[in-house]
A and B are shown apart, each in its own frame.
Chain A
Amino acid sequence: MSTLRYAGNGASKDFLPDVKGMIVLNKGTTTTVALAKTLAGWQTHINPATSDAIVGTYIDLARGFEEKTSAPEFTTANTGLKEKTKDFEPEFTGYGFMSWEDYRTWFGADAKEYDFVMVLADGNIMAPLDSTGKVVGFNGRMFVSYNFPKAGGDGKQKACPFDIMFNDVEQIKNYQIIRTAFERRELTESVPVGINIEILTDYESSGGTVVLKATHRVSGLPYAGLTTYAQWQVVNTTTDPAGAATAISATNAAIGVYTLTFLNGAAKMTGDFEIQAETITASHVTYLSNVLNIPI
């Protein structure tokens, strides 16, 4: 925290704008202040040229933001002296402006550690700087909720809660407001469009083929844009040292159906593996699917 010197009062008495969104970043992701002011700077994290390079995303919290930080602890000594003896790490619940299917893609993030850059209503960002002067997020943990659909009312609006607990009081003491050249809407539009992929026909053990269907998330409209092998990534394997989309038949792409062959070299996959599909346009990931486990 900087040295206290009397710094005057401005003529305006405006409040700090509300938090309306957050950029979720892989822990340790840094951005120069110059790039943090630009949409292009954040796009290098949110929708770069390949899905492998994605290290973060933006969550719109238009459905609500509730601060949950515990009040500071004040203790009275037996002499009668009362003073602050503890500050608690900030925490809040943000309600995602997203579909339940989008929310389900976050289930794997439960209890994991991320860095969070808070986005204010005017598009400016609230974040700490690291020791080298680069913008980092507030380090903290994310928790998601698994539950039945809410019956209605504000329960519906709170159906996609993200409970965020920061790890370090010092970071919030030292936060900066960085004036940006972009609007929140542009961050929202930078996030790749969500596609759902699902299995139509199970992985075929003698030939290594699996029939998949790709649809626009929630609407269910077929997505016909995944016709090349390079768009299908094997993101994880369980028993095989490697794996790849060896071939794809796009004969039925118009209805979102693709027949893919996944092999490890010439051999069939021997254990479950996970895949993800992507579309790249003008050096940005523009469509991105859920991660789908292919059971063997």
Chain B
Amino acid sequence: MQFGKVDINTTSPSVKWKDWTWKEFQNFYDHSLKGNVTETIEEIGKALGVKVPKSKKSSDA
């Protein structure tokens, strides 16, 4: 799944986004996406199927 010039794996059996914790996803976002995408962490998390905490859903990264 493409976000800006970053392509995120959505097909590999070893990458099950729905199993990721929000903390794990935040770490991934900080190291691999931050500064390279225009979407918020919540928008990307939601698109990938990561469980986004309710309090985070409406806020920006």
Contacts and interface: CB of A to CB of B under 8 A. Distances in A.
B9 A244 contact: yes
Interface string B11-37: 111111001110011011011110010
A234 to B, nearest CB: 9
17 contacts: A206-B27, A227-B7, A229-B12, A230-B9, A242-B13, A244-B9, A244-B14, A246-B8, A247-B28, A250-B6, A251-B36, A263-B14, A263-B28, A264-B14, A265-B14, A265-B19, A266-B19
Interface in A207-228: 207-209, 227-228
B27 A261 contact: no
A245 interface: yes
B19 A229 contact: no
Contacts of A259: 32
B30 to A, nearest CB: 7
Minimum-distance CB pairs A-B, first 9: A207-B31, A244-B12, A242-B14, A266-B24, A261-B32, A229-B9, A247-B32, A250-B5, A228-B7
Nearest to B10: A229
Contact of B5 (A204, A251, A263): A251
Contact of A244 (B15, B19, B21): B15
Contacts of A249: 5-6, 32-33, 36
B31 A227 contact: no
Given A265-B14, A265-B19, A266-B19, A245 B27 contact: no
A248 interface: yes
A230 B20 CA distance: 21
A217 B9 CA distance: 27
A53 B8 CA distance: 24
A249 to B, nearest CB: 5
Max count, chain B CB within 10 A of own CB: residue among A208, A244, A249, A261: A249
A245 B15 CA distance: 9
Give the size category of B's interface with A: 20 to 34
Given A228-B7, A266-B24, 15 more contacts: A207-B27, A207-B32, A230-B9, A244-B9, A244-B14, A246-B9, A246-B15, A246-B32, A247-B7, A247-B32, A247-B33, A249-B6, A249-B36, A261-B32, A265-B16
A248 B6 contact: yes
A243 B24 CA distance: 16
A266 B7 contact: no
A246 B31 CA distance: 12
B15 A204 contact: no
A206 B24 contact: no
A281 B13 CA distance: 24
Given A264-B14, A265-B15, A266-B21, A248 B31 contact: no
Contacts of A265: 14-16, 19-20
A156 to B, nearest CB: 42
Max count, chain B CB within 10 A of own CB: residue among A204, A243, A246: A246
A209 B12 CA distance: 17
B57 to A, nearest CB: 21
Contacts of A229: 7-9, 12
Nearest to B9: A229
A248 B28 contact: no
